[in-house]
Structure 1
Amino acid sequence: MVPKSVFKKPALAVLCLVVVLLLIASLNGCGGQAGSTGANQPQASATKAKGTIRIGYVDWAEDIAVSNLWKEILEKQGYTVNLQSADVAPLFVGLSKDDLDLFLDAWLPVTHKAYWDKYKKDLQDYGIWYQSPARIGLVVPNYVTINSIDQMNSERSKFNGQVIGIDPGAGIMKAAAKAIKDYGLNFKLIQGSEAAMMAALEKAYRDKNWIVITGWSPHWMFAKFQLKYLSDPKKDFGEAEGLHTLANKDFSTKMPQVAAELKRFKLTDQQIGGLEALINQGMTPQDAAKKWIDENQNVVDSWTKG
Structure 2
Amino acid sequence: MKKQALNRRIRTTSLALAAGVGLTAAGAAQAQDTVNLAYVEWASEVASTNVVRAVLEQAGYEVDMTSLSAAAMWQALSTGDADAIVAAWLPTTHADYLERVGDDVEDLGVNLDGTKLGLVVPEYTDVDSIEDLNDNADLFNGEIIGIDPGAGLMGLTEDVIEEYGLDLRLRSGSDATMVGALSSAIDNEEDIVVTSWTPHWMFARWDLKYLEDPQEVYGGAEQIHTVVRAGFGDDNPGAYAILEAFEWTPEQMGEVMLMNQEDGSDPYENAQQWVEDNQDVVEEWLSAAQ
Matched, 1:165 2:145: yes
| Cα offsets for 1:8-50 (capped at 9, x unmatched) | xxxxxxxxxxxxxxxxxxxxxxxxxxxxxxxxxxxxx986971
The match for 2:224 is 243
Radius of gyration: which is bigger?
1
Matched, 1:50 2:50: no
Give the whole-Å Cα distance in 2 for the aligned partners of 1:236 and 1:266.
28
Give the whole-Å Cα distance in 2 for the aligned partners of 1:184 and 1:96.
36
The match for 2:113 is 131
CA shift, 1:245, in A, is 0.6
CA shift, 1:219, in A, is 2.3
Report SS of the residue matched to 2:209.
Answer: strand
Matched, 1:103 2:90: no
The match for 1:228 is 209
Kept in 1: contact 2:39–2:65 (CA 8 A): no
- Structure 1 letter corresponding to 2:77: L
User: CA distance change for structure 1 residues 174 and 106 in 2, over 3 Å: closer, same or farther?
Assistant: closer
CA shift, 1:125, in A, is 1.3
User: CA distance change for structure 1 residues 211 and 296 in 2, over 3 Å: closer, same or farther?
Assistant: farther
CA shift, 1:79, in A, is 1.5
Report SS of the residue matched to 1:129.
Answer: strand
Kept in 2: contact 1:57–1:64 (CA 8 A): no
CA shift, 1:226, in A, is 4.0
The match for 1:264 is 245
| Cα offsets for 1:213-245 (capped at 9, x unmatched) | 222233221233343321222345456533211
Gaps of 5+ in 2: 1-17, 23-27
Kept in 2: contact 1:149–1:230 (CA 8 A): yes
Report SS of the residue matched to 1:105.
Answer: strand
Give the whole-Å Cα distance in 2 for the aligned partners of 1:138 and 1:77.
40
Give the whole-Å Cα distance in 1 for the aligned partners of 2:157 and 2:70.
22
Give the whole-Å Cα distance in 1 for the aligned partners of 2:54 and 2:134.
48
| Cα offsets for 1:221-276 (capped at 9, x unmatched) | 12333433212223454565332111233333444443333233223333323323
User: CA distance change for structure 1 residues 196 and 100 in 2, over 3 Å: closer, same or farther?
Assistant: closer
User: CA distance change for structure 1 residues 187 and 98 in 2, over 3 Å: closer, same or farther?
Assistant: closer
Report SS of the residue matched to 1:78.
Answer: coil
Q: Which has the larger displacement, 178-187 or 240-249? A: 178-187
Gaps of 5+ in 1: 1-44
Kept in 2: contact 1:165–1:173 (CA 8 A): no
Report SS of the residue matched to 1:107.
Answer: strand
Report SS of the residue matched to 1:271.
Answer: helix
CA shift, 1:60, in A, is 2.2
Give the whole-Å Cα distance in 1 for the aligned partners of 2:231 and 2:188.
54
Please report the TM-score for the alignment, with normalisation by the length of structure 2: 0.68
Q: Which has the larger displacement, 276-285 or 205-214? A: 205-214
CA shift, 1:75, in A, is 0.9
Alignment of 1:149-188 (within 5 A): 149-152=130-133, 159=139, 165-166=145-146, 169=149, 172=153, 176=157, 179=160, 182-183=163-164
Report SS of the residue matched to 1:275.
Answer: helix
Give the whole-Å Cα distance in 1 for the aligned partners of 2:104 and 2:170.
41
- Structure 1 letter corresponding to 2:182: L
Q: Which has the larger displacement, 160-169 or 222-231? A: 160-169
User: CA distance change for structure 1 residues 109 and 133 in 2, over 3 Å: closer, same or farther?
Assistant: same
Give the whole-Å Cα distance in 2 for the aligned partners of 1:138 and 1:238.
12
The match for 2:278 is 296
Kept in 2: contact 1:165–1:193 (CA 8 A): no
- Structure 1 letter corresponding to 2:57: E
The match for 1:198 is 179
The match for 1:63 is 45
The match for 1:77 is 59
Give the whole-Å Cα distance in 2 for the aligned partners of 1:63 and 1:57.
10
Give the paired residue count. Answer: 260
Give the whole-Å Cα distance in 2 for the aligned partners of 1:251 and 1:168.
29
User: CA distance change for structure 1 residues 267 and 204 in 2, over 3 Å: closer, same or farther?
Assistant: farther
CA RMSD of aligned residues (A): 3.8
Kept in 2: contact 1:138–1:215 (CA 8 A): yes
- Structure 2 letter corresponding to 1:221: M
